[in-house]
Structure 1
Amino acid sequence: MASPKLFSLLILTSLLIVCVSCSSFEDQGSKVPPSPKSRKLIEAPSAMPTPPTKAKKVDLTLYYETLCPFCAQFIVNGLSKVFNTDLINIVNLRLVPYGNAHIQGPNSTIVCQHGPDECYLNSIEACAINSYPDATQHFKFIHCIENQTIQGKQSKDEWKSCSQQLGMDPKPVQDCYDSGLEKKLILQYANETAHLDPVHNYVPWVLVNTRPLYESYQNFVPIVCAAYEGSPKPEACKPLPPNINSTAKTS
Structure 2
Amino acid sequence: MSVKTTTAFFVALTLIVVNVSHAEGFALQAKKLYDWPNTENEKQNSVPRVTVSIYYESLCPDCINFFTNQLAPNLVKYYKYLNLDFLPYGNCKQEKIDGKWNFTCQHGAPEFAKNKWQACSINVLPSKPKCLAKYITCYMTSVHKSHTGYLCAKKLGLLQSYKKIKDCYQNDDFSNELMAHYGNRTHSFTPPLNWMPSIVFNGVYNKTDQQDAENNLPKAICRHLNPKPAKVC
Q: Same fold (TM over 0.5)?
A: yes
RMSD, aligned CA: 2.0
Single out whichever of 59-68 and 217-226 deviates more from structure 2: 217-226
Instruction: Name the residue aligned to 1:95.
Output: 86
Query: Identity of aligned pairs, percent?
Result: 28
**Do the aligned partners of residues 59 and 117 (structure 1) sit closer, same or farther apart at CA in structure 2, a change above 3 Å counting?**
same
The within-5 A match list for 1:81-92 is 81-85=73-77, 87-92=78-83
**Do the aligned partners of residues 234 and 61 (structure 1) sit closer, same or farther apart at CA in structure 2, a change above 3 Å counting?**
farther
* TM-score (normalised: structure 2): 0.70
The answer on 1:175 being equivalent to 2:151 is no
**Do the aligned partners of residues 78 and 161 (structure 1) sit closer, same or farther apart at CA in structure 2, a change above 3 Å counting?**
same
Runs of 4+ in 1 over 3 A off after TM superposition: 53-56
Q: Which has the higher helix share?
A: 1
Q: Which runs of 5+ in 2 are unaligned?
A: 1-44
CA distance in structure 1 between the partners assigned to 2:129 and 2:64 by the alignment? 17
Amino acid corresponding to residue 107 of structure 2 in structure 1 = H
CA distance in structure 1 between the partners assigned to 2:139 and 2:101 by the alignment? 26
Aligned length: 179
CA distance in structure 2 between the partners assigned to 1:139 and 1:94 by the alignment? 9
Instruction: Name the residue aligned to 2:200.
Output: 207
CA distance in structure 2 between the partners assigned to 1:214 and 1:76 by the alignment? 16
Instruction: Name the residue aligned to 1:228.
Output: 225
1:57, 1:228 within 8 Å by CA — same for their partners in 2?
Answer: yes
Give the C-alpha shift of residue 71 in structure 1: 0.7
Give the C-alpha shift of residue 211 in structure 1: 2.7
Instruction: Name the residue aligned to 2:49.
Output: 57
Instruction: Name the residue aligned to 2:59.
Output: 67
CA distance in structure 1 between the partners assigned to 2:90 and 2:197 by the alignment? 8
Deviations 1:95-136 (A, max 9, x none): 110011111452330111111111011011111111111221
Give 2:124's match in structure 1, choosing from 128, 131, 136. 131
The answer on 1:120 being equivalent to 2:94 is no
CA distance in structure 1 between the partners assigned to 2:73 and 2:137 by the alignment? 12
* TM-score (normalised: structure 1): 0.65
Larger radius of gyration: 1
Give 1:217's match in structure 2, choosing from 209, 213, 217. 213
